[in-house]
Chains A and B, each alone.
Chain A
């Protein structure tokens, strides 16, 4: 049984953003708080105007330190600026933008110490208005991998608890935290060029999450559905995805493991505990014979 502190550290590690090595070694220099924000503007299809970059001056000492705070402050001055946001804590995945050339969530990314800050919508997506993009095909791809538990021989899911050992549960750490912000998928050049048939890192991360879930019975069918040259194998390990993930997850590693499972090089391990362990034989769940603690 791994120590509680070890498991805690493993989970904490995934909360940190993966930065590329160059930004970590630069010493902090004082930048003037009056910054210029260059933001992509597009008035929508009815406005008949071309997309352009508009500059805004903002004193960042008057707003919170996250990019979303700056965007809201700019919106106070120019109410026509449009962007998505919801939870302001990096859990909903709505506020994904392209900041200084890298995708991130604006609510958990600090305003970088630069004089000019460029904010663009997610790359290679159809722009509805300003920073809001059309995510339809991204979510359709996610739905296509059947992101739900499939049990073969249980009468009705939800009647009894499914058992899972701690080790099997830890296999999903780093996979279930994905918030579907699409920072990774929209940073992948392969998804830019083949986005309609290639599923993209986020969807493949979730596909892997359902494949290695020890409680799921439909592994063979899931892997069979991914067996073509586009859905999973258009990943060329460019690895932009793992650099872009704002939650610190690792889609590239998950995709490589998934590819090995699809091609048959690896086999999904047998669950350590039988998931149907708590099903009392012959009892349809009246509750009388159910043990609350195993």
Chain B
């Protein structure tokens, strides 16, 4: 009999069965309050609200670990970001030429005559042409490397580094060729 009572207690909380009788519950509460027993309230289960990861962490005021400032620069990442930067520069070239042609009153030959009028030394002119052609040379050579990767070839670390250096050489060659024109 005692064992049976113990198992009854273990399988379901005695107070849970009490809560099915509201009148009885009130008296139990008074009894509990009087005896300083811990007060147990029963709340319907609510699954935790799904919050976006960033929202939850922002609410918790957690700091973000450092990334760009601390991560060591590898050739792979540097070449990749330069590819993006040169792409943006080429876009500005194209936009400048396009919008310039639209808004300027004169033909482009006018501006070329203006630059010729500055009488710069051939060395300075060559240097200026190298600087302007550099994004094009780099982006073109790296673009070919990217297309090579799209065939799923040349993706091992060793090949990425060796094609990377080869690409830098090719970019320099294209730049010098364009500047010499």
Contact = CB atoms under 8 A, between A and B. Distances in A.
A101 B146 contact: no
Interface residues of B, number: 32
A123 interface: yes
Contacts of B74: 20, 239-240, 243
Given A127-B62, A239-B80, A196 B54 contact: yes
Contact of A240 (B60, B70, B76, B161): B76
Contact of B62 (A18, A100, A126): A126
B48 interface: no
B80 A101 contact: no
B149 A256 contact: yes
Contacts of B71: 98, 101-102, 123, 187, 240
Interface in A48-71: 50-51
Contact of B155 (A45, A98, A240, A250): A250
A281 B67 CA distance: 57
B155 A253 contact: yes
Given A121-B65, A236-B80, A239-B80, A21 B161 contact: yes
A106 interface: no
Interface string B141-160: 00000100110100111001
Interface string A1-45: 000000000000000001011000000000000000000101001
Please classify how large the interface on chain A is, using the bins under 10, 10 to 19, 20 to 34, 35 or more.
35 or more
A242 interface: yes
A192 B63 CA distance: 14
Interface string B71-84: 11011110011001
A42 B84 CA distance: 35
Contacts of B76: 238-240, 243
A250 B156 contact: yes
B22 to A, nearest CB: 40
A124 B62 contact: no
A50 B63 CA distance: 9
B66 A123 contact: yes
A12 to B, nearest CB: 16
Contacts, number: 109
B65 to A, nearest CB: 4
A204 interface: no
Nearest to B53: A137
A125 interface: yes
Given A102-B72, A253-B155, A126 B67 contact: no
B62 A237 contact: no
B104 interface: no
A128 interface: yes
A201 to B, nearest CB: 13
A134 B62 contact: yes
Interface in B50-71: 52-54, 57, 60-68, 70-71
A139 to B, nearest CB: 11
30 contacts: A20-B161, A21-B161, A98-B70, A101-B70, A118-B70, A121-B65, A122-B65, A126-B57, A126-B60, A126-B62, A133-B65, A134-B57, A136-B53, A140-B53, A192-B68, A196-B52, A238-B77, A239-B74, A239-B76, A239-B155, A240-B71, A240-B77, A242-B157, A243-B74, A250-B155, A250-B156, A256-B149, A256-B155, A257-B152, A266-B152
Interface of A: 18, 20-21, 40, 42, 45, 50-51, 98, 100-102, 118, 120-128, 133-134, 136-137, 140, 187, 189, 192, 196, 236-240, 242-243, 250, 252-253, 256-257, 260, 266
Given A101-B72, A123-B66, A137-B53, 15 more contacts: A21-B161, A40-B65, A45-B61, A120-B66, A121-B65, A123-B67, A127-B64, A127-B65, A196-B53, A237-B149, A238-B80, A239-B77, A239-B160, A243-B74, A266-B152
Question: Top 10 A-B pairs ranked by shortest CB distance?
Answer: A101-B72, A123-B67, A239-B76, A124-B67, A137-B53, A126-B57, A126-B62, A253-B155, A121-B65, A238-B80
